[in-house]
A and B are shown apart, each in its own frame.
Chain A
């Protein structure tokens, strides 16, 4: 009782999960069932953005999402984000700008920015993208390089 299977597609691969407790978070399913440790647990309260993944293309806090609630969805984690042309540009921009210090927040930033750029394209001004990324926290406070990478990633869009 209160555990059942869930069908997900994760980073393009069908990933059926068995006996998932109803209260299990997507974050835990990805990390502990599928071994995708790129998705980080920061605060587990929706404040830090480290656990951001894409669910059917929409950036989502995986710590505040029940696995069962995304039944049938296509999930993209940081491990799969560069398979997408926008994600590949975002990753290259972060690497070129050296936009990381300890790196813990980086997967969340890469996924969140990829989601935003896929949703809004070049229509979003850099200032708006930065405001939207204010919900991703970098505890090293390495924001200058991150801001440069965001600007650069937007300019690299096809």
Chain B
């Protein structure tokens, strides 16, 4: 006896209709399943119906000038192996490589990562520094939401019942970096992670921190301290102090608050240096 009924719609309209029809008695959207299946098995998510997105034509990667649109069901491994993505968004490449191993990344998707909104998501910090916009599709059409507003907290987003993530849009290529610290590198989540990116058109730095509660966040105080362009040593020192002071760090089994604040500063230093080394 199956714990759930699997529904496999062929179009986005059918998928949205299936989600809405089942909204009353527990329904979940299935992309790669690498996170959802564990939560279903452990009862953290209860769903009598699971709507598979595998037949939807969303495994796409589209460039429009400097803008990259990533289809929500594109496996992470496809992003990782794309040379243009790696060159244009090196921080995103770093972050994708931090998600499990290749066998997981062949199934795990960008949309799944955002929809599941895990506090230790490796993709969210980088996507925040890249000003990612999430494109949603529902019964009343599409809407775009800034990622920072889409994410609410641990496992919570502004996705409405019957809505799906259709794509993630990155407005421009940015030199960027993502660095993390873990107790065990290969099979644990990050204790703390720092993403940095520089917008050449706006001349602004962007700094985000992950592995913090209840969700990864931008740290505008640190970004501001870096100024516009190549930061001085003094500016980097002030940014390090800002990230230590303003990061919403808490203690848990993976590390004390003090240790994490220290790590945040160290990783910020290294992320800025790595980003600078990636300037064109």
Task: Report A's interface with B, CB cutoff 8 A.
Answer: 1-3, 21-25, 45-49, 52, 55, 58-61, 64-66, 68-69, 112, 115-116, 119, 132-137
Contacts and interface: CB of A to CB of B under 8 A. Distances in A.
A64 B2 contact: no
A24 B103 CA distance: 19
A73 to B, nearest CB: 11
Interface string B26-54: 00001001100110100000000010101
Contact of A69 (B54, B77, B186): B54
B230 interface: no
A62 to B, nearest CB: 9
8 interchain residue pairs of minimum CB distance: A135-B101, A2-B2, A22-B6, A21-B2, A134-B186, A59-B103, A58-B106, A22-B2
Contacts of A132: 101-102
B101 A66 contact: no
B38 A23 contact: no
A69 B37 CA distance: 12
Contacts of A134: 101, 185-186
- With a 10 A CB-CB cut-off, give which of A64, A65, A69, A119 has the most chain B CB atoms: A64
Given A61-B34, A61-B103, A66-B6, 15 more contacts: A22-B2, A24-B2, A48-B187, A58-B75, A61-B104, A64-B34, A64-B38, A66-B30, A68-B6, A112-B101, A132-B102, A134-B186, A135-B102, A135-B187, A137-B186
Given A52-B103, A61-B34, A135 B186 contact: yes
Contacts of A25: 37
B104 A22 contact: no
A69 B52 contact: yes
Contacts of B77: 58
Contacts, number: 89
B118 to A, nearest CB: 14
A86 B158 CA distance: 46
A60 to B, nearest CB: 5
Contact of B50 (A22, A24, A55, A116): A22
A150 B75 CA distance: 25
Nearest to A52: B103
A23 B102 contact: no
A2 B33 contact: no
- With a 10 A CB-CB cut-off, give which of A3, A23, A119, A133 has the most chain B CB atoms: A23
A52 B103 CA distance: 7
A3 B104 CA distance: 26
Interface string B101-124: 111101100000000000000000
B186 to A, nearest CB: 4
Contact of A60 (B54, B103, B186): B103
B160 interface: no
B104 A135 contact: yes
A95 B107 CA distance: 30
B102 A59 contact: yes
A65 B103 CA distance: 11
Contacts of B4: 2, 22-23
A58 B50 CA distance: 24
Contacts of A65: 33, 107
29 contacts: A1-B5, A2-B6, A21-B1, A21-B2, A23-B2, A23-B6, A24-B2, A45-B38, A46-B34, A46-B100, A58-B77, A59-B102, A59-B106, A61-B34, A61-B103, A61-B107, A64-B33, A64-B104, A65-B33, A65-B107, A66-B37, A66-B52, A68-B8, A69-B52, A112-B102, A112-B103, A116-B102, A132-B102, A134-B186
Contact of B103 (A2, A23, A115): A115
B5 A22 contact: yes
Contacts of B37: 25, 64, 66
B3 interface: yes
Nearest to B3: A23
B220 to A, nearest CB: 33
A104 B136 CA distance: 44
Contacts of B38: 45-46, 64
